[in-house]
A = this chain, B = another copy of it.
Amino acid sequence: MTALKYSRQRESIKSFLLSRYDHPTADTIYMNVRKEFPNISLGTVYRNLALLTDMGKIIKITTEGADRFDAHVEPHSHFICRECHAVLDIHMKNEDFINTEAQKEFSGQIEGHTVRYFGLCKDCLSKKA
C-alpha cells in the first residue's frame, strides 16, 4: 500500500500533457517542464510518466523512435504516420468497430482508445507528389 504523495513536478507534467494534442515524447515533455522546473531530470519525467500511465491518468503510445504520451484518456483511436511517426487523434465511437471481424474474434478483450491505424499523414503524402 504505497501512499501516493503530491508532487509539483508530476502535476506540471500532467497539466502540460493536458494542454497538448500532439502526443509529445518524454523528451519534449522534459524540455517544456524545464521552463517551470529548471532542475527537473529526465529520470523524474520518465518515473512520473510511468506512474501516471499506471494510474490511468495518461496513455502511453509506443511507436518507432520514442514513446508518446496523451493525457486525453476519453476513448478514442489513433492514426500513426509510417513516415514521420506523427500520432493523430481519430474521434471514433467505440460502437464503430463493433461489427468488425476483430470485434467478433476478440470479443470483450479489446479496450477503448486502443485501436491504431497506420498509414501516411497528409503532409507526408503531399511530399511524395
Q: How many copies does the complex hold?
A: 2
Main secondary structure of the interface of A (DSSP, over half): mixed
Question: Known: A62-B64, A63-B62. Is A102-B77 also a contact (CB below 8 A)?
Answer: yes
Complex alpha-carbon distance, A42 and B81, angstroms: 28
- A117 part of interface (Cβ distance < 8 Å): yes
Complex alpha-carbon distance, A118 and B77, angstroms: 11
- A92 part of interface (Cβ distance < 8 Å): yes
By a CB distance below 8 angstroms, the chain B residues around A116 are 115-116, 118
A90 CB → nearest B CB, Å: 5
Within 8 A of B (CB), among A83-109: 90-93, 96-97, 100-102, 105-106, 109
Q: Which residue of B lies closest to A77 (CB)?
A: B102
Complex alpha-carbon distance, A111 and B116, angstroms: 12
- Of B82, B93, B105, the residue contacting A101 (CB under 8 A) is B93
Complex alpha-carbon distance, A93 and B102, angstroms: 10
Question: Known: A114-B119, A115-B117, A116-B115. Is A101-B106 also a contact (CB below 8 A)?
Answer: no
> Is the Cβ of A79 less than 8 Å from the Cβ of B91?
no
